Amino acid sequence: MPRFPLLLSLSLGLLCATPNRIPAAEKPQAAINIGSKAQLFVDQMLVKSSEEITFQLHPGKKHPANPLLKADQPWEGWRISIYGNVIYDAAVSKFRLWYTTDVTKDFPNFSVCYAESEDGIRWNKPLIGTIDSARGGRQHNAVLNEALLPSVIKDDHDPDPQRRYKMVAYVHKDKPEGGPHTFTSPDGLQWTRLSHEPICRSNDVITVYFDEERRLYVAFPKHNTDVRGQVRRCFALSTSKDFVTWTSPRYVFKPDLIDDAGSLARIEQVRSQLNVPDDPKLMRTEFYGIGVYPTESCTLAFPWVFTINNNGRYGNHEGPSEIQLASSRDLKTWERPFRTPVIPHGLPGEWDCGFLATQSRALRVKDEIWLYYAGANYTHGSPCLYKDIDRGTKFTGSIGLATWKLDRFVSADASAHGGTITTVPFIFSGQRLELNAVATQPGAGITVEFIDADGQPNSVWGTSERMTGDALRHTVVWKNQPDLKSFAGKPVSLRFKLKDASLFSFAFRSF
């Protein structure tokens, strides 16, 4: 395996799915049951029709202090990467980060290092290393040797305190031992390998998280396969109920024709950074990795879209990566109606202008979603990955943060002329309707109507009072109607009327 040119051969591909298509396994017979879960407009599954509405992707906001972590210790080498994960550990009231370093004299076959923070912004690298350095004697913060890509999970439900922390990491050794393995720890620092052999086939990159609703450990291992005549980086799905036995991987992510059609445009955006000229016969899209974030009603993915313009001068493939957005309701069928960055590239020369990657699972921090990401100011085939050319001076890799307000990834927008959204029939639970929306301009607002089977507004309830302002949880009010209990458990549809407004999600809640 090549030496970590941002892991060089790590990759991901996404399955082409028709935007707005309801997965076959989840087609409602009469009305889908949404319960009291927030319904985002990322997949538009509940949208029956819309008039004068546009759906807009909202990129994350980069933290002004980025990059938050840099390679500044000799055992880290000239770059670090969030080929790992960040959790908030309530037991110690700290953010905790496990990240990947470069090959160094201290750790000549990679290592996993540890950092912690009180606020998630200012990070410390405590010298509590739990493994021996090849050079001996030096204190460090490395906690696992000969491994990388550490997806770490805190499991407070495991009765065995020695298994409180769980990790899947890629053991960087020759086959058959090398590959994705499971590890456990009582404290997140002292790690013991649990698996005796790789948990599944993976060409290197594998990201793992725990799905609380499904009660499953979910893994996305990289599988290279032929796509339209070229062997490409693609991803499969494997799950486990006990962190020991894993299902046979099945392909779920492959690049599609739309991806390939956008290759040249993505290449042009980083043209000044590329080290080799284009080869039209080799130009294509692949996928390098994936981060996730489970929302109440769907799972979001942050695929690392890798665009190849040619073979690298010294090895592997040349090209940049960018972070896009995908969504799924069943983890098997994924939709990507937006093919633009959800984390924008930095300007040429900035720390994150070349190759981007993400943590394995984003965090909810109060009313925000935090996604830590790795940024590099070089591309996948840059000579600095193979030769000591300006390493740690001109070229480096660091870790930063992008954030969103709660669930504000995609909005349904209407201009001052107004627009409407009508939903498919659904069943809900709860007594009130909550909107995550913005309507701050003079004359702006959102009203809601219940729609009868004939498509007409319910004559008893009529139109709600107008929502204005900027709110994550605005409770919709109908005159003379205290709550929605008369509708709960019955098939209903909603019609939203927007004027100069943005609607991000809606949810039925209890008082």
What are the pLDDT digits (tens) for 348-363?
999 999 999 999 999 9
CATH number (domain holding residue 429): 2.60.120
Do 45 and 124 fall into the same domain? Answer: no
Q: State how far the Cα of 33 lies from the Cα of 35, in Å rounded to an integer.
A: 6
Do 340 and 275 fall into the same domain? Answer: yes
Domain boundary among 345, 371, 404: 404
pLDDT, tens digit, 9 for 90 and up, residues 124-146: 999 999 999 998 878 999 999 99
Q: Look at residue 6 and tell me if it is in a domain.
A: no
Give the pLDDT mean for 94-118. 97
Do 178 and 304 fall into the same domain? Answer: no
The confidence score (pLDDT) of residue 14 equals: 35
The confidence score (pLDDT) of residue 234 equals: 96
Contact 266, 322 (CB under 8 A): yes
Residue 19 has pLDDT above 70, yes or no: no
Do 89 and 129 fall into the same domain? Answer: yes
Confidence of residue 76 (pLDDT cuts 50, 70, 90): very high
Q: Look at residue 117 and tell me if it is in a domain.
A: yes
Residue 300 has pLDDT above 70, yes or no: yes
Q: State how far the Cα of 233 lies from the Cα of 252, in Å rounded to an integer.
A: 12
pLDDT cut 70: percent of the chain above it: 94
CATH number (domain holding residue 76): 2.115.10.20
The confidence score (pLDDT) of residue 361 equals: 98
The confidence score (pLDDT) of residue 128 equals: 97
pLDDT cut 90: percent of the chain above it: 90
Average per-residue pLDDT in the chain? 93
The confidence score (pLDDT) of residue 15 equals: 34
pLDDT, tens digit, 9 for 90 and up, residues 251-276: 999 999 999 999 999 999 999 999 99
CA angle, 287 then 291 then 294, to 5°:
135
Domain boundary among 363, 381, 404: 404
Distance set, CA 141 to CA 144, 237, 308 (Å): 10, 32, 35
The confidence score (pLDDT) of residue 85 equals: 97
Q: Look at residue 336 and tell me if it is in a domain.
A: yes
Confidence of residue 481 (pLDDT cuts 50, 70, 90): confident
Q: Look at residue 17 and tell me if it is in a domain.
A: no
How, if at all, do strands 310-311 and 355-358 pair? Answer: unpaired
Phi then psi for 265, rounded to 5 degrees? -60, -40
Do 352 and 476 fall into the same domain? Answer: no
pLDDT, tens digit, 9 for 90 and up, residues 40-72: 999 999 999 999 999 999 999 999 999 999 999
Do 267 and 395 fall into the same domain? Answer: yes
The confidence score (pLDDT) of residue 29 equals: 52
Q: Look at residue 19 and tell me if it is in a domain.
A: no
The confidence score (pLDDT) of residue 9 equals: 36
Q: Look at residue 3 and tell me if it is in a domain.
A: no
Q: How many CB atoms lie within 10 A of CB 78?
A: 17
The confidence score (pLDDT) of residue 138 equals: 86
Domain boundary among 142, 166, 198: 198
Is pTM, for the whole model, over 0.85?
yes
The confidence score (pLDDT) of residue 336 equals: 96
Q: Look at residue 7 and tell me if it is in a domain.
A: no
Count of structural domains within the chain: 3
Do 322 and 253 fall into the same domain? Answer: yes
Do 110 and 219 fall into the same domain? Answer: no
Residue 236 has pLDDT above 60, yes or no: yes
What residues make up the domain containing 161? 69-198
Residue 498 has pLDDT above 50, yes or no: yes
Give the pLDDT mean for 1-21. 36
Do 400 and 422 fall into the same domain? Answer: no
The confidence score (pLDDT) of residue 315 equals: 86
Q: Which of 8-12, 35-39, 65-69, 171-175 comes out lowest in average pLDDT?
A: 8-12
Give the pLDDT mean for 383-407. 96
Give the pLDDT mean for 77-101. 97
Do 169 and 224 fall into the same domain? Answer: no
The confidence score (pLDDT) of residue 7 equals: 38
Please write down the long-range contacts of 117-123, taking CB distance under 8 Å and 24 or more positions apart. Answer: 118/93, 118/94, 119/95, 120/86, 120/88, 120/95, 120/363, 120/365, 120/370, 120/401, 121/63, 121/65, 121/68, 121/401, 122/68, 123/68, 123/69, 123/95, 123/97
Do 108 and 220 fall into the same domain? Answer: no
